[in-house]
Chains A and B, each alone.
Chain A
Amino acid sequence: MRFEDVWFRYARRADWTLSAVDVAIRPGETVVVLGRNGAGKSTLLQLAAGVLSSVRGRVTDRPDVVGWVPERFPADQPFTAEQYLRRMADIRGGSGVDEWFERLKFAEHRHTRLADLSKGTAQKVGVVQALLLRPGLLVLDEPWEGLDAVARELIPDIVAEVTAAGGAVLVSDHRGEIARLPEAIRWTVADNTVRPGDPEPDDGATDGATGGGSGGGSGGGEVIIEIAARRSDADRTMAELRDSGHRVLGVRTEHQR
């Protein structure tokens, strides 16, 4: 799929959100889109998915089956998780709802109404609806947001399955979870356009971090190291890490792994 000199703005008199975007993603590739909040990552992803259409230029060779996981799942609908997914499967002609409930470990929420789901569980519903048909293009907008440890670990597997089947995957990430996708190509959204590669240090280096593997060669290169600490030591550990010049990106408790 190719962006050919794509320009986009949300209203006729608004500033361009994205301009002169000229990038391509091939089948089997994974692209991680980096950039600050509000840089236009979501816009780029929605243009790729076909939710938005470009104002100038065009997006060509979009696969027939596109799966889009929106940043926020629209939970304001009068269905239970299972009813919703079965209806979406009917609409798409897809299947496998039951297996996905098991795989993402939320079968106990089958009969919970969407509006009553926690943010993370609603996000799982959002992930599953995009995978009911094997997508030729999977677009994941901040897929790690709110997900529990089990599901976070699964995202790379899902990405690998889609690419192994010849699909392309476009992921946005501002939390530095990119370390989970070491093979991915990076695009950076900054200054209203998109270019291949990591953000430059002045780009604000994304909110989280720019991922691993670059060996620190580009000056701003960082790697994400996940550590586990005893609950009682958590405060002290964070303070020590900060003192030694590291950035603490997040703290979470994990009940199961």
Chain B
Amino acid sequence: MTALVRMRLIAFAGSGRVVAPAILSLAVLGVLYGGGSSLAAPVYGYSATIFFPVLAWLVKLLLDTEPDVQRRLARIAVGPRRESLAGLLAATLAGLLLCAFAMAAPLLVGAIRGPEPGTTEPPLLTGILLGALAHLLALAAALALGALSSRVVAGTLSKGLMILVGGAILVIILGLSRSIAPWLVPPVMATARALNADTLPDAARVALLTAWTAAWCLITLTAYARLRTRRA
């Protein structure tokens, strides 16, 4: 299966489809880190939220790179389960790379500062670790949304885009602090709010956000796997 993951990543990079999300990411980074510096947690909280739709799009692009017939050839070669798992793994690896890039950029351009001496501001490492978690949670949610919007599941490009864009908008609207049904969507916005609060989230809050994302992804990816048993 690693051979299939590798083939898909190389095809994605080689097909040039990787260029569009890369340029968008650079633009986003330019807007985010145009000037000034702040603590790591709020910076990464914003970053994870803004990169969530970019990551979901990246996942969809990667899963859609392979022609339908080639995907079916892969399905025959490794079996249906490993074929769809290989797609998710390849998308996860590409997403991790983008997350690493998104996290390294503010450190490199000096947009993140350490705590002021004599204040109760949290140490730099805590902020970075929380930021990494926020990006991982965003990536997990993006993986699930991107997979559901992929061509093999959605059928047509327009339906796929509708799922992708509609899903991303719902994540934002239902994720607002006065939302009536925040549980319907992954806690991308809730995570950003937790990292922007005056006091950093405690372990219980972090565990809740993680479990919430995990539950949402489990349900969505199970639906994806079930749809994929019929849709090759």
Contact = CB atoms under 8 A, between A and B. Distances in A.
Contacts of B4: 91
Nearest to A135: B76
Contact of B14 (A49, A72, A79, A129): A79
Contacts of A72: 69
Interface in B181-217: none
B68 interface: yes
Given A52-B232, A78-B14, A70 B73 contact: yes
Interface residues of A, number: 23
Given A51-B76, A51-B232, A79 B3 contact: no
B7 A91 contact: yes
Nearest to B78: A91
Q: Is the interface of B mostly helix, strand, loop or mixed?
A: helix
Interface string B60-90: 0000001111101111111010000000000
A207 to B, nearest CB: 22
Interface in B208-230: 229-230
Contacts of B76: 49-51, 66-68
A139 B70 CA distance: 15
Contacts of B3: 87, 90-91
Contact of A78 (B6, B11, B78): B11
B72 A51 contact: yes
A-B interface, 7 closest residue pairs, ranked by CB to CB distance from nearest: A78-B14, A74-B67, A90-B3, A74-B69, A74-B70, A51-B72, A91-B3
Interface of B: 3-4, 6-7, 10-11, 14-16, 66-70, 72-78, 80, 229-230, 232
Interface of A: 46, 49-53, 66-68, 70, 72-74, 76-79, 87-88, 90-92, 129
